[in-house]
């Protein structure tokens, strides 16, 4: 039986989630902030990702460069990441050293320095990272599809931002973003591991309880209007192969149709972890896309993906065309698999396989205290940490007819954005 999660809100508004796990003498400390590229205005794209980097660049207590040595010396690992809806940091340590994780996160929540030379150095690092991505055909196509699929919502912008914005951003821009969003009233602390919950809660209160709550949070008011017709983009650049990517505007993770969309994704290309970034993966050979596109010789690989999100995002399909195959033929093959499900639904055997695979994914994702905390934090920032316990029941309640219905409802031509990447050495 799963250990219950204890939830406690500090006076400054920070939610603390605790879960005891005594399988190994290890504990993990995660801080989740409800801020990502979704919260960035035009002209400030990439600011959340950049601020994430800056929180590794030192405080008066832990100078730049000392953090990695401090964690390593105590036998731990740490990292951080930014996504469309959230930013997270974690430290996983021997259980008797977990106080260090709390110390690090409480310190940099309010004391990060943002020194001018570190800001300029990190600007160079991030622009270099962006330019590295820019050499990848899949990146060009993905950015073009997102920009066409979202006309108003900030989901249209890449998490890393645009080069022009990164070049223009100032230290004050970054520091203002930090002081607005990276504060207790916008944070969730998740602690999982070999500890006593009462003692750990006292430790959390001592570390974070006296920190100022933070200002009122700017709300994201942008809403993507209902699409009125198919949108198409073509990217012509040097590249090794042609690629096709199709995105359908789909509901957010709080929708009652989310679980059926996850089963549809599994039927098309196999179950994936819904944790962290979700998205596509190499096609499962027992799912529909592999025999239809890869075994037939049309594509070298094919995938589908569903990303849990706070606002409506995309249900996606994609493939790498085999040599000499026109992207239009790949697109037609992908859409044909959607049409089959819309017309005929999925077999009960497919539904059973999808449920089995998803149960396995949930089990694999719960093997470590680090992953358990990641699941709790991600779902809390998007909806509620309780989804960790209810998701399998939601998936088990999905019928074959539900899958057919949501394919007919959401995977329609008018909700579709189609992108082709065409290799062109002359571009």
According to the 3-state scheme, what is the secondary structure of 172-214? HHHHHHHHHHCCHHHEEEEEEECCCHHHHHHHHHHHHCCCCCC
The three-class DSSP label of residue 219 is: coil
On whether both 251 and 184 belong to a single domain, the answer is: no
CATH number of the domain encompassing residue 61: 3.30.830.10
**Predicted TM-score (pTM) of this structure:** 0.95
Strands (E), 21-168: 26-33, 77-82, 87-94
On whether both 74 and 174 belong to a single domain, the answer is: yes
On whether both 202 and 60 belong to a single domain, the answer is: yes
Joined together, the tokens standing for residue 6 give 């204890």
Q: Is residue 223 part of a domain?
A: no
On whether both 188 and 286 belong to a single domain, the answer is: no
In angstroms, the CA 106 to CA 109 distance is 5
Residue linked to tokens 């605790």: 18
In angstroms, the CA 335 to CA 390 distance is 32
CB distance 54 to 114 below 8 Å: yes
On whether both 204 and 154 belong to a single domain, the answer is: yes
Strands (E), 194-298: 231-237, 243-250
On whether both 49 and 156 belong to a single domain, the answer is: yes
Q: Is residue 63 part of a domain?
A: yes
Q: Is residue 217 part of a domain?
A: no
In angstroms, the CA 139 to CA 162 distance is 13
In angstroms, the CA 179 to CA 182 distance is 6
DSSP class of residue 283? P
Q: In sequence order, which residues have a C-beta less than 8 Å from that of residue 124 and are 6 or more positions away?
A: none
On whether both 350 and 410 belong to a single domain, the answer is: yes
Intra-chain end-to-end CA distance of the chain, in Å = 59
Q: In sequence order, which residues have a C-beta less than 8 Å from that of residue 338 and are 6 or more positions away?
A: 317, 407, 411
Which of 173, 208, 243 is the endpoint of a domain? Answer: 208
Give the containing element (helix H, strand E) for 397: none
In angstroms, the CA 369 to CA 186 distance is 23
Digitized pLDDT (tens) for each residue of the chain, 427 residues in all: 578 999 999 999 999 999 999 999 999 999 999 999 999 999 999 999 999 999 999 999 999 889 999 999 999 999 999 999 999 999 999 999 999 999 999 999 999 999 999 999 999 999 999 999 888 999 999 999 999 999 999 999 999 999 999 999 999 999 999 999 999 999 999 999 999 999 999 999 999 999 999 999 999 999 999 999 999 999 999 999 999 999 999 999 999 999 999 999 999 999 888 775 444 444 578 899 999 999 999 999 999 999 999 999 999 999 999 999 999 999 999 999 999 999 999 999 999 999 899 888 888 878 899 999 999 999 999 999 999 999 999 999 999 999 999 999 999 999 999 999 999 976 5
In angstroms, the CA 372 to CA 374 distance is 5
On whether both 334 and 377 belong to a single domain, the answer is: yes
Q: Is residue 214 part of a domain?
A: no
Its domain, for residue 18, covers 6-208
On whether both 191 and 245 belong to a single domain, the answer is: no
């Amino acid at each position: 039986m799963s250990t219950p999660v204890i939830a406690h809100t500090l006076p400054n508004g920070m939610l603390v989630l605790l879960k005891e796990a005594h399988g190994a003498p290890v504990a993990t400390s995660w801080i989740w902030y409800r801020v990502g590229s979704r919260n960035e205005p035009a002209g400030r794209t990439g600011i959340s990702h950049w601020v994430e980097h800056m929180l590794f660049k030192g405080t008066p207590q832990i100078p730049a460069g000392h953090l990695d040595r401090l964690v390593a010396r105590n036998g731990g690992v740490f990292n951080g990441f930014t996504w469309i809806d959230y930013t997270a940091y974690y430290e996983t340590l021997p259980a008797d050293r977990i106080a260090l994780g709390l110390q690090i996160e409480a310190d940099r929540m309010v004391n990060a320095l943002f020194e001018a030379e570190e800001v300029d150095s990190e600007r160079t690092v991030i622009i270099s990272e962006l330019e590295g991505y820019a050499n990848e055909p899949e990146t060009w196509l993905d950015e073009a599809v997102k920009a066409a699929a979202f006309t108003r919502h900030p989901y249209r912008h890449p998490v890393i931002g645009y080069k022009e914005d990164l070049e223009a951003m100032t230290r004050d821009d970054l520091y203002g973003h930090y002081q607005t969003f990276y504060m207790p009233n916008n944070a969730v602390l998740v602690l999982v591991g070999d500890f006593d919950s009462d003692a750990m809660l006292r430790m959390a209160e001592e570390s974070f309880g006296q920190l100022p709550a933070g200002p009122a949070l700017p709300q994201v008011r942008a809403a993507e209007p209902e699409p009125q017709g198919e949108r198409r983009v073509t990217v012509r650049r040097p590249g090794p192969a042609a690629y096709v990517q199709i995105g359908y505007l789909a509901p957010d993770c709080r929708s009652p149709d989310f679980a059926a969309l996850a089963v549809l994704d599994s039927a098309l290309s196999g179950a994936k972890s819904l944790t962290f970034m979700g998205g596509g993966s190499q096609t499962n050979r027992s799912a529909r896309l592999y025999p239809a596109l890869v075994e037939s010789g049309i594509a070298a690989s094919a995938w589908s993906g569903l990303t849990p999100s706070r606002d409506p995002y995309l249900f996606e399909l994609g493939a790498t065309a085999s040599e000499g195959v026109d992207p239009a033929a790949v697109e037609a093959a992908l859409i044909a698999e959607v049409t089959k499900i819309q017309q005929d639904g999925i077999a009960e055997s497919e539904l059973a396989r999808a449920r089995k695979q998803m149960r396995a994914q949930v089990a694999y994702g719960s093997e470590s205290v680090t992953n358990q905390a990641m699941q709790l934090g991600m779902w809390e920032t998007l909806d509620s940490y309780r989804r960790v316990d209810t998701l399998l029941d939601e998936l088990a309640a999905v019928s074959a007819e539900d899958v057919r219905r949501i394919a007919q409802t959401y995977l329609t031509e008018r909700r579709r954005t189609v992108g082709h990447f065409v290799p062109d050495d002359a571009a």
